Structure 1
């Protein structure tokens, strides 16, 4: 006889410190779960506060407001009749914990603190919370008076326990615990826990999703069981985009998968599962033998049934069937992730849209294409009558007509997206033409201007003040003069960008709201420092700052076909150039020639430096095996030394990088992700000597071999 249970997990677009908004989205998810017949609902990690509160977690006010919101949730009649797993931070004995609260019908059953905290990469949970390092230990927690009045409870169990209903046993683990070698779900499964929940705040990185989903599947493949994974989605107010993709897995098989990128603030995923499938799956000798020796979890007993029709056959219950996991391609991830992030950012800061310096190159072209993708997502959501999206779009576009919907992405872009080609005498007709064509196709309000008079005015001020006038290197000037003349053009573009961002809405008849300035420096240029400090890469936010040039080119090829924008092929065919030096019959500035390395090489250097944690010496050794015989050891050593030299002397630029969408593990953003000093000896003398020794040994060996061959 089947023991059918309908369970629900959800992805919520929570926002750090938006207590009431977060509460309302939680309530909406509970309502939807109940409408779908679910008797268990699981939400994301720290869903009441939002996951990304960072140092706000150190403020006591946050804990007060969290309890106030929780009180209003369990006191709401619509939250009755369903087992709830809700996340919030809790102070216990003056120690801060990241917790789950399990409740039913307005009564708290258990507070379960997180055992293992995420504390690397983008995460600093140990800065805010303490891990509960007492496995299977439970003690008493005195509830705040505001909760006591509602539940009639003075204290509840606090610790690592599980919930035992009349028909099953439920355990909880939180985000990082899934990724640990000895995950809690192993011990819980061996102790008879049949349903395991995981509430997460996991962010998007290109090509990362399979790692997460494989671990979720593996959690029940060996031990059997039902696994409910809930994840936050949305920007949450910072560089990360939490990419949802909630999951329900039974015995290693996926029965329900949520969307990874969506403009829906609330997404509830349900599945009907059979407890008998778990019990049959576990009827194996190895499981039985190991389960007899596993430590026992304390059970919190609650006299309720999650499978209300378990005593009779329910003809209405239809078990959910297994399905294949869906993955987006990296090009689709670039089109969707940053677009959703941009939408969250602009609507929540009450912006009137975006301003982008459109240079006619790949990077600004990719940024414009991502905004175009955002407009397409908005139009699709509006066509599906997403009221929140429609409301936000009307406000952003300054449309007073209550019947208007942003169902045409080009029309919507014409109202909220502004671009400008800021040319000089060093600019080419080709880049100007490409920028104009692209703006016409995607619908941006475009301004085409020349800024030579502005550049001349600044240089003239310097000449009057010093009596000297710098000239470009190609005309006989020094490298110092050449660099200064390039930088002043780039920095003036930044000044103009902010001027236009503030005043273009006014020019168009709007007297409130400004535009967010978008940056367009890719992750490789940021890593190498191939940008001017405080130039037009300095902006409010940058959707491509964590994406490599190689991936951006692939994305442009995808966007060309998917968005039907043939003009993008012109950007792919063009040679990347900053156009900051004069163009002559014999010279055209090239990015890769200026940098002394290719973008593909930069990606390799970046991953070895950050992901593989290589210094110059270990990087050289790895590349020696990867790049020979195509390159000689001396050529490899020169490239490695050059990379680390420019990385070191430009490290200071990374301290002021525009906040960027985090998409790559080798991002050099040192505000949180890449904590390295910005004053480094660029020669790396110790490592360089060891590299030189290897090169000399190799070359001496080659010489000796040649001499031996000659003698023979």
Structure 2
């Protein structure tokens, strides 16, 4: 299938579909080309289900199933590592991972005369990584010439990852056509007109390549008796496509668009009527709310451009077949419900911030005070034991203080699911709401969360995004979406509000509870997750990184504190809410992780190695230069420096829950 052009060797390529294994003119399957290289890292576990084709440059005859035989009339089809040779060019195939592998198939195929490379891929979005696939495509065609047709999936497909499109066509090291990166469209057509003679000229100029190609092994060729380019050269030639510049989204834009597209695809596939979010007035829940608002903006924009599929989906969601979304805030009011869940420990500041944000994004918002529910649960405990726990600030023990925080957090989850299931019933609408989580990746890796609290939800759009990136996103959303309340939210200290207020003001902050700043936690997390560092190797790296602001003893104390928290809270990783995959920093490997989910928090060998190394490097390190605000001091550091765990951080909420 190709549009006829009145010029020899010019072709329009439909990049989104791999059409060349099937000859539509003769209704024959020309070739079944199996995958040669499987991906088994990150979110992929392909070897669980498939076996790669190992017979390089070999083809077997495959008897086609009866249902195919009735359509094509053929008994067999070539199956294996081959290329298709038309009368005017040669077409080769890579499948997804083969482009990323060091031994990519396009190298050998290009040396054997293949001019067109087709890749049907399922590559997911990661923050700051859009350039990777583009670079691979341009380099694939630049190294030995050729046209590379890259077709990528779009949508969530019910998974944690978002396949972000970006289908494109590369020619001799340039991109000549591309699809959108984030869009609600199910199908997108990418078209380019090229001149095959440009490929041949480009290759002839690479003399070293020509010498290697002269001794290159040959691929089996499946002959196709047709031309991709027309023979009629009368009339004017269609202009060929020129190189384009790829404009990449900033990380803040990717957070605004990627999770929003993912949420929309998940929502329409689930058949539910919208989302429910416990809105606390802090950075995390505000980020989740802004992403849903961005989703509504994308839906309204798609409908205004005439996308009938999106219009049909949104009508099904709101149960109104005459509805046409015209305003993002109005759409939010129909499908996005937010609730501020207060106890006696909640402040007016966070309540007001939550209400103002809800008004600005357009959600259906309400406030509840469920302190009576908390008191009822505590009454049951007292009726059984005869004792009542009290907060640490009022003389209670760390165990009492932690239990009081955890019960509030867990009851928020119970209340969230109650309202999510019944709010549409209250409005006489069918279906229910999906509960959104709002725990960021830093808190998940450290375990700064209560097991089965309000971070437990149906899906979590920010579960793979760091606190620092979320703050950057909120600055972007404040200007892009005209949400001025976000300035106040970003400037407020993060707090769980699970301990008593002092003069109606917050007395508890996340960073004080954790015994580390979010900036430090981000560094710990990336070293642990992305660089696979244990306590000793992390200490060695951070003594160098923080040499101007921390002594070796301080670095050792910080690393030990993180790893104690990491060890005793790893069990929480097994129950994390399915979250949007944003980068390799994400904790979504809990699905495949076969390591113990309860570590020895003493780390005896590793901590001893750190202590020994401190003695060795202490004299070599420069004297620490204290910079104002560079390294906050926490009381927990001195408590923990002896290497014995003494309760330490209580987390948000319940960071020490075992």
Fold shared by both chains (TM-score > 0.5): yes
State whether residues 497 and 506 of structure 2, in contact with CA within 8 Å, keep that contact through their aligned partners in structure 1. Answer: no
Partner residue, 1:489: 408
Deviation at 1:700, TM superposition (A): 5.7
Distance 1:308 1:409, change over 3 A: same
Distance (whole Å) between structure 2 residues aligned to residue 679 and residue 152 of structure 1: 60
The 1-side partners of 2:178 and 2:620 are apart by 58
Q: 1:357 aligns with which of 278, 296, 302?
A: 278
Deviation at 1:699, TM superposition (A): 3.1
**CA 1:148–1:411: 2 relative to 1, 3 Å:** same
6, 23, 30: which one pairs with 2:12? 6
Offset from partner CA, 1:183-205 (integer Å, 9 cap, x none)? 10000111110000111000011
- 1:154 correspondence with 2:72: no
Per-residue Cα deviation, 1:352-408 (whole angstroms, up to 9, x for no partner):
1010000010000000000000000000011011111111111111224x2x31121
1:216-235 paired onto structure 2 within 5 Å:
216-235=137-156
Query: Counterpart in 2 of 1:97?
Result: none
Structure 1 position 488, deviation (Å): 0.5
CA contact (8 A) 1:103 1:110 kept: no
Map of 1:655 onto structure 2: 574
1:127 corresponding residue in structure 2: 48
Match of 1:631 among 550, 562, 565: 550
Q: Helix, strand or coil: the match of 1:267?
A: coil
Distance 2:104 2:32 in 1: 19
What displacement does 1:424 show?
Answer: 1.0
Rounded to whole Å, the distance in 2 between the matches of 1:702 and 1:8 is 60
How far apart in 2 are the matches of 1:425 and 1:118?
51
Show the counterpart of 1:467: 386
2:100 paired with 1:179: yes
Once the two structures are TM-superposed, the CA of residue 207 in structure 1 deviates from its matched residue by 0.8
Match of 1:289 among 202, 208, 211: 211
* Distance in 1 (alpha carbons) for counterparts of 2:210 and 2:267: 55
> CA offset at residue 672 of structure 1?
2.7
In 1, Cα distance between equivalents of 2:621 and 2:353? 51
CA distance in 1, matches of 2:440, 2:552: 29
Higher strand fraction: Structure 1 or Structure 2?
A: 1
Map 1:599-610 → 2, pairs under 5 A? 599-610=518-529
SS at match of 1:113: coil
The reply on whether 1:326 has 2:233 as its aligned counterpart is: no
CA distance in 2, matches of 1:140, 1:433: 70
1:675 Cα offset (Å):
4.6
Other-structure match for 1:16:
none
| Larger displacement relative to structure 2 (227-236 or 390-399) | 390-399
1:547 lines up with 2:468 in the alignment: no
Structure 2: distance between partners of 1:565 and 1:700? 52
Q: How many residues align?
A: 615
- Please state whether the residue corresponding to 2:326 is helix, strand or coil: coil
- Residue 692 in 1 paired to residue 635 in 2? no
Q: Take 2:462 and 2:268, find their aligned partners in 1: how far apart are those partners?
A: 19
**Of 485, 491, 495, which aligns to 1:573?**
491
| Higher relative contact order structure (alpha carbons within 8 Å, sequence separation ≥ 6) | 2
Instruction: Tell me what 1:65 maps to.
Output: none
Cα distance between partner residues in 2 of 1:214 and 1:482: 53
Matches within 5 A, 1:301-316: 301-309=223-231, 312=233, 314-316=235-237
Unaligned stretches of 5+ residues in structure 2: 1-6, 624-658
Shift of 1:2: 5.0
Whole-angstrom CA distance in 1 between matches of 2:257 and 2:25: 37
- C-alpha distance in 1 between matches for 2:621 and 2:71: 83
Q: State the alpha-carbon separation in 1 of the partners of residues 589 and 412 from structure 2.
A: 25
Alignment equivalent of 1:678, drawn from 588, 597, 604: 597
Q: Which deviations, in whole Å up to 9, do the C-alpha atoms of 1:557-588 show, x marking residues without a partner?
A: 00000001111111011000000001115971
Per the alignment, in what secondary structure is the counterpart of residue 150 of structure 2? strand
CA 1:307–1:290: 2 relative to 1, 3 Å: same
Which of 295, 298, 301 matches 1:374? 295
- Residues 694 and 168 of structure 1, relative CA distance in 2, 3 Å threshold: same
Equivalent pair of 1:350/1:396 in contact (CA under 8 Å): yes
Q: Please give the alpha-carbon distance, in whole angstroms, between the structure 2 residues aligned to 1:542 and 1:154.
A: 49
Question: 1:381, 1:389 within 8 Å by CA — same for their partners in 2?
Answer: yes
Distance 1:152 1:221 in 2: 41
User: Does the Cα contact within 8 Å between 2:37 and 2:97 map onto a contact in 1?
Assistant: yes
Do residues 559 (structure 1) and 481 (structure 2) align? Answer: no
Tell me the residue number matched to 1:204: 125
* SS of 2:375 mapped into structure 1: helix
Whole-Å separation in 2 of the counterparts to 1:502 and 1:639 = 43
1:388 equivalent among 283, 297, 309: 309
- The Cα offsets for residues 241-285 of structure 1, whole Å up to 9 and x where unpaired, read as 111100100001000111111100111101001101000000121
> What's the offset of the Cα at 1:121?
1.1
Alignment map for 1:109-120 (pairs within 5 Å):
109-120=30-41
Name the structure 2 match of 1:508. Answer: 427
- Distance (whole Å) between structure 1 residues aligned to residue 57 and residue 572 of structure 2: 48
SS in 2 for 1:156: strand
1:430 to 1:143, Cα distance in 2 relative to 1, 3 A: same
Q: Secondary structure of 2:170's partner? A: strand
Aligned to 2:85: 164
SS state of the match for residue 122, structure 1? coil
Q: Which secondary structure state, in structure 1, belongs to the residue aligned with residue 194 of structure 2?
A: strand
| Matched residue SS, 2:407 | helix
Which residue is equivalent to 1:73? none
1-side partners of 2:124 and 2:421: how far apart?
32
Of 437, 449, 457, 2:376 maps to 457
> SS of 1:9's equivalent?
coil
Query: Structure 2 length normalisation: TM-score?
Result: 0.91
Note closer, same or farther for the CA distance 1:572–1:595 as it changes in structure 2 (3 Å cut). same
The verdict on how the C-alpha distance between 1:416 and 1:625 changes in structure 2, with shifts beyond 3 A counting, is: same
Question: Conserved in 1, the CA contact under 8 Å of 2:548 and 2:622?
Answer: no
What is the CA deviation profile of residues 38-71 of structure 1, one whole-angstrom value per residue up to 9, with x for unaligned ones? xxx42xxxxxxxxxxxxxxxxxxxxxxxxxxxxx
Residue 441 of structure 2: aligned partner? 523
